[in-house]
Structure 1
Amino acid sequence: MNTKTFTADELSQLTDIPKRTIRYYIQLGLVDRPIGETKAAHYVDTHLDQLLRVKKLTEAKVPLERIRQVMDGEAEAPPTSTRKPGSMEVKTHLHVMPGIEIQISAEEAGMSPEQIRMLLKEVMAATQRVMKKDNGES
């Protein structure tokens, strides 16, 4: 198994988090310690994922203690939607029928494309049931 490894400099550049802050997050236990010692120390995808998650939560103004609880699995992650003027986000529009459309931010909802397709099928089936009842059909 080839796992991509990163130096501290690469990890800092990829996450746009200063190395000093990364070390602080490691000290707080928000991010796992690097693999290896001193100059031979390196990081892997897990470290990158942890840092990106911490960054997302800190940008949403979640306190570090709460982030630690989330990272340890003790608490549920709070919503992190921090839309700012000029920000962009991708949304999926699901056309159910004329006049009915569902808008989903898959990233924010944490849904895979397959889960979105399943949701659409369920909503369409429910819509058909409601329409039949409204028309007096059973």
Structure 2
Amino acid sequence: MNVLKLSLDQLSTQSGVPGRTIRFYIQKGLIAGPEGERRGAWYTQAHLSELLRIRQWQESGLSLDAIAGLLQARQEPPVAPRRIGAIEVQSHLIVADGVELVVSPERSGLTQTQVRRLFQTVLTALNDLKKSPKD
């Protein structure tokens, strides 16, 4: 079985999280420390996965305290079912006159980059539909 072994620099590059921040997360208990000892220490796929999850949650607007609570509970972020009187933040993206894309960032689990890609995909699909013969 081939185990992924990453240096701190490699982990930083692959996760997009600076090495200093990774050390801070370890100190705060958000992720486990490296495997091995001192200079021979390495990070695994599990470390990378945790960092990517933390980054996604931060991009969704969660604080480090909230993320720490989620990681301690080892569960996905809770999303309450919609109920009458609930307040929910939504992004309304105008694709064209009469066409609107509504995204609830917390419920969708999409990052801002993914929402932009979704918008571009919908815009392209709409333009393609307008160019095709009407049925």
Name the TM-score class by shorter chain. 0.5 to 0.7
Letter in 2 for 1:15: S
Contact 1:69 1:75 (8 Å CA) reproduced: no
Identify the residue that residue 110 of structure 2 maps to in structure 1. Answer: 81
Q: Percent identity?
A: 34
Identify the residue that residue 48 of structure 2 maps to in structure 1. Answer: 48
C-alpha displacement of 1:81: 3.2
Relative to 1, partners in 2 of residues 1:85 and 1:64: Cα closer, same or farther, differing over 3 Å? closer
Contact 2:58 2:64 (8 Å CA) reproduced: yes
C-alpha displacement of 1:76: 4.5
C-alpha displacement of 1:86: 7.6
Identify the residue that residue 4 of structure 2 maps to in structure 1. Answer: 4
Identify the residue that residue 61 of structure 2 maps to in structure 1. Answer: 61
Q: 1:55-134 counterparts in 2 under 5 A?
A: 55-73=55-73, 76-78=76-78, 79=106, 80-83=109-112, 87-89=116-118
**Normalized against structure 2, the TM-score is what?**
0.59
C-alpha displacement of 1:84: 5.6
Structure 1: unaligned runs, 5 residues or longer: 92-138
Identify the residue that residue 33 of structure 1 maps to in structure 2. Answer: 33
1:58-78 Cα shifts (integer Å, max 9, x gaps): 112201111011111266515
Letter in 2 for 1:81: L
The two structures, once aligned, show a CA RMSD in angstroms of 2.5
Contact 2:11 2:43 (8 Å CA) reproduced: yes
Distance in 1 (alpha carbons) for counterparts of 2:114 and 2:69: 30
Distance in 1 (alpha carbons) for counterparts of 2:15 and 2:38: 21
Is 1:18 aligned to residue 18 of structure 2?
A: yes
Structure 2: unaligned runs, 5 residues or longer: 79-105, 122-135
Q: Which protein is bigger by CA-based radius of gyration? A: 1
C-alpha displacement of 1:83: 3.2
Q: Give the total of aligned pairs.
A: 91
